[in-house]
Structure 1
Amino acid sequence: MPFAVHVLGAAVFALGTSEFMLSGLLPEVAGDLDVSIPTAGLLISAFAIGMVVGAPLLAVATRRLPKRLTLAGLLAVFALGHVVGALAPGYALLFACRVVSALACAGFWAVGAAVVVSLVPEEARARAMAVVIGGLSVANVTGVPGGAALGQTLGWRAAFWTVGALAVIGLVGVLLFVPATPAAPEGERTSLRDEVRVYRDLRVWLAIGTTALMAAGTFCFFSYLAPLLTDVSGLDEDWVPLVLVLYGVGAFTGTLLGGRLADAHMFGTLYTGLLASAAVLVAVAVTAESAVAVAVLSGLLGIATFLCAPGLNTRILNVAGAAAPTLAGATTTSAFNTGNTLGPWAGGVVIDAGLGYTWTAWLGALLLLMAFTGAWLQARTSGDGRGAAVADEAGRPVRRSEAAAHPAD
């Protein structure tokens, strides 16, 4: 694996720490800014909204710029957003900082994904993406619980200062180790109009929907894990970072497994991860009053959900990458973060309705089962199942005898 892929994974560690650290800081942020926990939870959604919007916009805006310089510039904006966020006197400015930071994060993911797949052969894409997503997993192991512990001891603003410093370190790494990517000759560039046509493909929309539902199901529950542990399970808040570590260890393990399995068994890996994730959340809902049970199940949830992540990333790149080299990575980022936006919002709705934190697990399980259905439909339209229909490049069904243009994953 090229060393530059590992450098990008290390930069993603800073991005991932910021994206998820608020899950362990919601009580501190809510108390300091005098807002409710569901309102503080919208800061997670704000980041996700910025990711959804920013990925395609920045991918298009920077498509003719040198990719290494683009990645460095985006990390600089990301770091600045966290400095301002650490100094924010109120909720509104912090919300705005989260959106701006997310725009930079989205652009980094979109451009970084294109760089990663350009550095490895097609049969190693899932493993390469697993390295990058591994930065996200390590953020869950160390960054998120570390941020929670830092927030509990020095205040949540200290966590923002730390992430800003990590982003600067990532910026230096990108400038030193990511190779300069030459621009394609003018005659070989895919026009933006041609790239947009990829969205006529039914397979692309099924991949987007499956990814968004998986993320929504996960974050509907995970965004409110800290208050569930303290208010329902009766766990002392000092132990919350340890549970987040368990989730992060599970996420790292799932990423390693998923990266190796998805290249050879794409849909089998997705089926296993999605069904296991739903089952774990049902178990959480049933045993929510037991702190030990929820802690163990949180680790298992990390394994199950991140088992899917490399495959979901690679699936969209496989069906859209050739026709839309600029927008494929952005589409993946937007799909994940559409779910990251809807999940905390949906969890907040059931909490505000008086159903309690436990219902975030029930709703998350339902969303994951819907994601499983989306994966099954993808297999059918890709010709991966017996008697399956196959779609042409515009998403129209064609006979299996015409399916040579769409080999199975």
Structure 2
Amino acid sequence: MNDTPLLKKTPLGMGRLRSLQTLSKVIIERSNGFKVSDLKDMLNLQGELHINGLEKVSNPQQAMDANLDGKKGLVRLKMEWSNVFDDSRNSILEYEVFEMLRPPTKLNLLIIYNYGGMKFPSWFVGTSFDKLTMLIIRDCSKLVDFSIGLMSTLEYLTIYGCINLVSVRENEINVGSSNRKSVLRVVHFSGCCSLESYKCPNTLEKLSIFCCKSLTSVIMSTTSQELPSSLRSLEVDDCENLKSLFHEEQLQSLTCLEEMRITTCENMNDSFPCGLWPPNLRKLKIEELKKPMSEWGMQNYPNSLVHLDLYGKNSGVTSFAMEGDEMNTAASTSFLLPPSLTHLTIWKFKDVESISEVVQHLTHLQQLTIWWCPNIKDVPKSTSSLMVEIYG
């Protein structure tokens, strides 16, 4: 019963199928419908289970009777409340219900949608989920604080649309002397507009942060020894109060970083960019930072940089030139391009009138894409070695 968004009812009597092993979805109802407690005797369930309609559970005892933690064969669990947050929702009751919905400890995937409590239950922090690798939390709009707790095997964390979430903490509880360390590889935050800061574990390989309006800092480390040298991809978009990502001198220690996207961060310290970049960076997208592009000057990009995506609104840039060209670097309103590029995309450079001359010097360029640059008159034509696309 996967991918059945219009399904509104689970047949009565389903709970008496005690030998049932596969039941991918149940829908909780009020009055005479299917109750969460009807799951009580279905101890042979295996694989995945999606419980929808948890906002209709009116008594925490029903949640306890569901005996989720007795279903040892479950490895993927999705708990879903309604996405309508009105006066019928009771955050205290939802917390008490969630507290009773203790899942089996051998899950490898846990998804939580639209939970209305301000905090997660005690079992979430205090239970050792030693198989859990992926956790997705979405649209829990009243959630204020979150801790990963004992999820020592967690590799993928996504938190989306938790608009009141202020802090995210990791592994603050240890088992006596095991000294468990984070193994988080991928972290994604989106629409968490109250989140103020985040400190990355040094195991991180991919970090994405979108639309977190209150975020002021992303702490990569407190010392260079803790730097997440495994980081391969960094994306930060629409974080209007973000002031810093890391100490600029640490950038060159990110030897695995290949993709960087930093966009719409208007209050980023104007010391960034400072001309220091990860030594193996391949793809870079930059737009709307505090420091105007016309003031960037020589950046000394690594030779590995082949994809560059630039957004020119309010940049002050009137032309493009090549890094190392002494005649052009003297023009304060020129943006200097690295000669290693194979792909170049430019957006909304309304004051730029010429592009062909600099393209002639980009001898490795394979694709040029131009979006909404109305005053560029000398656009080169596509050839067998260069694809040119123009939009707007």
Common topology (TM > 0.5): no
Task: Tell me which protein shows more helix as a share of its residues.
Answer: 1
Instruction: With the length of structure 1 as denominator, give the TM-score of the two structures.
Output: 0.22
Instruction: With the length of structure 2 as denominator, give the TM-score of the two structures.
Output: 0.23
